[in-house]
Amino acid sequence: MTAESVQCPVCGEAQRDLWDYDWGTREELTASCGSCNAQYTLIRHVSVSYEARPIGPVAVVADVDQARAGGSDQRRAPVQGEGPYTLDHDDPRRAGAHYPGSVAWWEHAKAWEGYAQRFSGSARDQDAARIAQRGGFGYGELTEYLGHEPETWVINPQFADRQ
Ligand SMILES: [Zn+2]
């Protein structure tokens, strides 16, 4: 039986505070029952598990082609497309629409700070890396949270010929 408390194998009395023994690196030792004084072998089972958590924002490379061309210091975050951006450019309904693109990571992180200041609780828990993984902010959101239009916005390559 494996548990945090055991029963004395002689009298059945519960034996507690088992971590109080001087285990050192030992996995078993001789203990004596607090009730009947019988000695018994006490065995300790130790299990270890590991977890990794990021220290700061995680680098998310939005554009694989860009990563190949630019190397790791060209860290960028995606920017979601907004509005009916697939409509013709002379279509009035297209006003204010933005193609999907990307911005420099620092600008995404800066916008995230503005975003985090406005929200509390669960909304704020979406850190910059997670927002990037979910597609990033929209162009309008970036403008709102930065206080101005993004400076490093670049259209996604697949739309470049349509701009
Ligand atoms: Zn006992």
Task: Please spell the DSSP secondary structure of 75-105, one letter per residue.
Answer: -EEEEB-BSSTTS-TT-GGGTT-B--EEEEH
Which amino acid would we find at residue 111?
Answer: A
Mean pLDDT, rounded, of the chain: 81
CA 20 / ligand 1 centre spacing (Å): 18
The pLDDT of residue 125 is 64
Going from the Cα of 64 to the center of ligand 1, the distance in angstroms, rounded, reads 67
Ligand 1: distance of its center to the CA of 18 in Å?
Answer: 15
What is the whole-number distance in angstroms between the Cα of residue 40 and the centre of ligand 1?
9
What's the 9 CA to ligand 1 centre distance in angstroms? Answer: 7
| Domain assignments of the chain as residue spans, ordered by start | 6-43, 64-158
The pLDDT value given to residue 61: 47
- Torsion region of 121: left, alpha or beta (phi above 0 gives left; psi -120 to 50 gives alpha): left
Global pTM reads 0.49
Query: Which residue has better confidence, 118 or 58?
Result: 118
Residues with CB under 5 A from ligand 1 (ion): 8, 10-11, 13, 33, 35-36, 38
